Amino acid sequence: MPEAAARSMDAETFAAFRAQIRRFARERLVSLEPRVFEAGEVTPDIRAEMNGMGLFGLTIPAEYGGLGLSIGEYIETMMEVAWAAPAFRSVLSINTGMLATALKVGGTEAQRAEWFPKLATGAIGAFGLTEPDSGSDSAGLRTRAVRDGDDYVLNGTKRYITNGPISDLVLVMARTSAENLPKNAHVSAFLVPADTPGLTRAKEDRKMGQTGALTGDIVLEDVRVPTSALLGGEEGRGFRTAMMALDAGRLSVGGSAIGYARRILDSALRYATERKAFGETIANFQLIQAMLADSKVELYAAESMMADALRRAEEGLPVSTEASCVKLFATEACGRIADRAVQIHGGAGYMAEYDVERFYRDVRVYRIYEGTTQIQQLVIAKAMLRDFAAAA
């Protein structure tokens, strides 16, 4: 991030706002989880309620109707939202994370003026990067955008796209050159309204967990958009924009893992202090205490990493490596904490009657999307080697 982030609120005002979101997530959103699971989505009326809390405009500048939170304020807020089921975070995170970042760093003033007010008031965004044959290899995508007079014609398929089935706007990454160019300049980004002729939003995917968090394919067949849809008005900047947006996305996923891990550990503590065996609560058993302690250590480590990364981001320092570190550690730790919570519950932890069975399934994908753990390892190692070579 080239410039230090200006905080949108003074510390006291933000603390009050964060406390309000904490109550909303833990009381209202948690109470709405059964409705979301039954409907298979965060229904429009619930989205409207979330919009009324300002959640869709968290990072959108105030002059466009948003709250204009800094990156640190945003992630801290999302960690509170993440106490509730992942579906709630999922429906708003593309707006507040990837699309907001992409428009800020790569959009024209006209594009920001058109889309920020809509996104800030509940229009649903999607980030069209992953394809059937190019997930982690994002530079190898096949979707094409061919210039035709004052238009571009797009063809291709995007896979596992968050909010794909209900999206109003899709930021599509596409090749504007058939050949791979230096610095991935063959990739450009396009703002495509979901009602554009030729764009089809496929039926939602069936997944292991995260019920209500919708994903699905987006198919583009001779989708014609004006040149004004080219993000930033310049070809070849799409990959760079995508990578900058992914920094925010990876911090957001790391924050979501931390927020959900807090709830999972709370559930494990609650069960351990209520469940009795051999005449006493199982919280008195040292091996149960060891699992609780290990979970607290990992959660504290993840929180400390996040705090450092956000401090750097707020100071305007580059955080790509740190974002990958946080995303890797926090999501892996969340998985281990969920596993221990199931173990603490014993046989009950395998039953759908208890939340930990769902928690266990929900958190598995955190280690996969926004770059798998293995991709984060490669990103971190390459940065280390590059910095070492530069210093030498």
The residue among 234, 205, 210, 178 whose CA lies nearest residue 90 is 210
Contact 57, 121 (CB under 8 A): yes
Q: Residue 75 belongs to what H/E stretch?
A: helix 71-81
Cα–Cα distance for residue pair 196/192, rounded to 1 Å: 7
Give just the sign of the alpha carbon dihedral 52, 54, 60, 66: positive
Task: Considering the candidates 73, 298, 322, 370, report the single residue annotated as catalytic.
Answer: 370
Helix (H, G, I), strand (E, B) or coil at 90: helix
Length of the chain: 392
- Provide φ and ψ at 203, rounded to 5°: -60, 150
Catalytic residue check, 370: yes
HSE of 169, CA atoms in CB hemisphere, 13 A: 26
- Provide φ and ψ at 311, rounded to 5°: -60, -45
- Which CA distances in Å does 33 have to 27, 211, 355, 358, 375? 11, 10, 11, 12, 32
The residues carrying an active-site annotation are: 370
